[in-house]
């Protein structure tokens, strides 16, 4: 932990050295919520978000905040280690070509519904999920856009890995949007003391709205996990069909970093909101990806209670998307990747929002949380597909 701010109703504990003013103000807002519990934890990749900073961890007493989870519910990482010791550039290119044909990217969905067996089992009343279910069957096994990616990597022992970053697609957006609007409406009726400008409308967990959101949010977490697993299956198939070798695949590490969960911390059952934060309980495996072209880390949680058993979910942005497209040098960003012989996705200025220069230095981010995780492996990128 780098420092503690003690000027608000509860402390703010920071695992980063410098924090942009907008994100810091959002952290202050969290610390002044009447139902916030014990302290607010800010991870080293933190930056400005909607209502709550991305990279924030908040404990609440008996309420849940849709914007404390965000619109891409269940977004997370999946990483698989293979037995493959060598992979040639032409083999990688064939794998990437097949993946572009079998995994829809960006806003694209499958042309027809996927088999219902791929979808998570529905439990309880799920009104938004029921409405969106048919559309969701065309979304499972799709990457999405923004910072979502598929990457082929090499571990410290020389073995090849692959990694997927994706979430709940439009399904999660619809759930988040529905319940955030409902929370805003109810907070207005109650004349809530939480200012609307904070974008932190909440739902009490003793009411049906809070319970309904919690059920549908958990379905989206399960859907996002299943979505990543379907893509991992497609990647395994692409490896097996394009590389002449016997390949074994280890058990996937599949984790979410946008969700809320009921957990016990500091002697009380609370709702932990992790928005761009990964759970890091003692001995729990996690993934902290770098930006395009930089290292990613496989970690083991240290179970630090001060972070509510959490760590960062990545490097974290240091530039907004429009700022990156405007300010970064296209040729320099391409050269940085070309010199490392990485097959990358930067073609034009429109791609600069996902260039390494738009993100914080991953090594510094890891260093700032050495009390939260132990590094198990460092993965170097070989090729990347961006959404």
> What pLDDT, in 10s, does the model give residues 72-103?
999 999 999 999 999 999 999 999 999 999 99
- Closest C-alpha among 116, 48, 97 to residue 323: 48
**Has residue 337 been placed in a domain?**
no
Q: What does the alpha-carbon distance between residue 182 and residue 338 come to, in Å, rounded to a whole number? A: 48
**Has residue 20 been placed in a domain?**
yes
Question: 292 pLDDT exceeds 90?
Answer: no
**Has residue 122 been placed in a domain?**
yes
Task: Give tens-digit pLDDT for 2-45.
Answer: 999 999 999 999 999 889 999 999 999 999 999 999 999 999 99
**Has residue 216 been placed in a domain?**
yes
The burial of 173, by beta-carbon neighbours within 10 Å (0-12 exposed, 13-18 middle, 19 or more buried), is given as middle
- Closest C-alpha among 289, 172, 285, 304 to residue 225: 172
Q: How far apart, in Å, are the Cα atoms of 317 and each of 320, 359, 380?
A: 7, 4, 20
User: Residue 192: which domain range?
Assistant: 3-318+359-386
The burial of 118, by beta-carbon neighbours within 10 Å (0-12 exposed, 13-18 middle, 19 or more buried), is given as middle
Task: Give tens-digit pLDDT for 143-191.
Answer: 999 999 999 999 999 999 999 999 999 999 999 999 999 999 999 999 9
What is the rounded average pLDDT of the residues 333-337? 90
> Are the CB atoms for 66 and 56 separated by under 8 Å?
no
Number of domains the chain contains: 1
3-state SS, residue 275? strand
3-state SS, residue 93? helix
The CATH number given to whatever domain includes residue 142 is 3.90.1860.10
Question: 194 pLDDT exceeds 90?
Answer: yes
Helices (H) and strands (E) counted in the chain, each on its own, are 8, 17
**Has residue 341 been placed in a domain?**
no
- Which helix (H) or strand (E) segment holds residue 385: the answer is strand 373-386
**Has residue 51 been placed in a domain?**
yes
pLDDT tier at 347, thresholds 50, 70, 90: confident
Is the whole model's pTM more than 0.85, yes or no? yes
| Displacement of CA 272 from its chain's centroid (Å) | 16
Task: Give tens-digit pLDDT for 218-260.
Answer: 999 999 999 999 999 999 999 999 998 899 999 999 999 999 9
What is the rounded average pLDDT of the residues 265-288? 98
What is the rounded average pLDDT of the residues 96-116? 96
**Has residue 334 been placed in a domain?**
no
**Has residue 325 been placed in a domain?**
no
- Positions marked active-site: 313
């Amino acid at each position: 932990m780098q420092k503690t701010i003690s000027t608000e109703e509860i402390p703010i504990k920071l695992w980063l050295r410098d924090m942009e003013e907008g994100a810091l103000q959002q952290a202050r807002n969290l610390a002044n919520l009447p139902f916030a519990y014990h302290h607010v934890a800010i991870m080293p990749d933190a930056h400005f978000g909607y209502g709550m900073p991305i990279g924030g961890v908040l404990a609440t007493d008996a309420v849940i905040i849709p914007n404390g989870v965000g619109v891409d519910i269940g977004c997370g990482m999946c990483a698989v280690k293979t037995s493959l010791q060598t992979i040639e550039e032409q083999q990688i290119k064939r794998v990437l070509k097949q993946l572009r044909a079998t995994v829809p990217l960006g806003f694209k969905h499958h042309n027809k519904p996927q088999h219902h067996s791929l979808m998570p089992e529905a439990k309880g009343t799920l009104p938004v999920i029921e409405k969106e279910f048919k559309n969701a069957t065309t979304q499972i096994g799709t990457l999405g856009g923004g910072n979502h990616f598929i990457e082929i990597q090499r571990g410290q022992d020389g073995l090849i890995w692959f990694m997927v970053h994706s979430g709940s697609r439009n399904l999660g957006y619809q759930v988040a949007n529905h319940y955030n609007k409902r929370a805003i409406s109810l907070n207005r009726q109650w004349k809530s003391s939480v200012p609307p400008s904070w974008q932190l409308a909440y739902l009490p967990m003793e009411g049906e709205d809070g319970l309904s959101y919690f059920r549908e949010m958990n379905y989206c977490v399960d859907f996002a996990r299943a979505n990543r697993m379907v893509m991992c299956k497609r990647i395994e198939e692409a490896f097996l069909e394009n590389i002449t070798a016997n390949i074994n695949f280890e058990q996937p590490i599949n984790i979410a970093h946008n969700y809320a969960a009921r957990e016990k911390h500091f002697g009380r059952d609370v709702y932990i909101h992790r928005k761009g934060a990964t759970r890091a309980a003692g001995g729990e495996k996690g993934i902290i990806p770098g930006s395009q072209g930089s290292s990613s880390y496989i970690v083991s949680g240290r179970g630090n209670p001060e972070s509510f058993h959490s760590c960062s979910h990545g490097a974290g942005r240091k530039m907004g998307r429009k700022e990156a497209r405007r300010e970064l040098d296209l040729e320099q960003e391409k050269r940085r990747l070309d010199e490392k012989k990485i097959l990358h996705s930067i073609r034009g200025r429109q791609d600069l929002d996902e260039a390494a220069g738009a993100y914080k230095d991953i090594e510094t981010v890891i260093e700032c949380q050495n009390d939260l995780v132990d590094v198990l492996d460092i993965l170097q990128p070989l090729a990347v597909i961006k959404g």
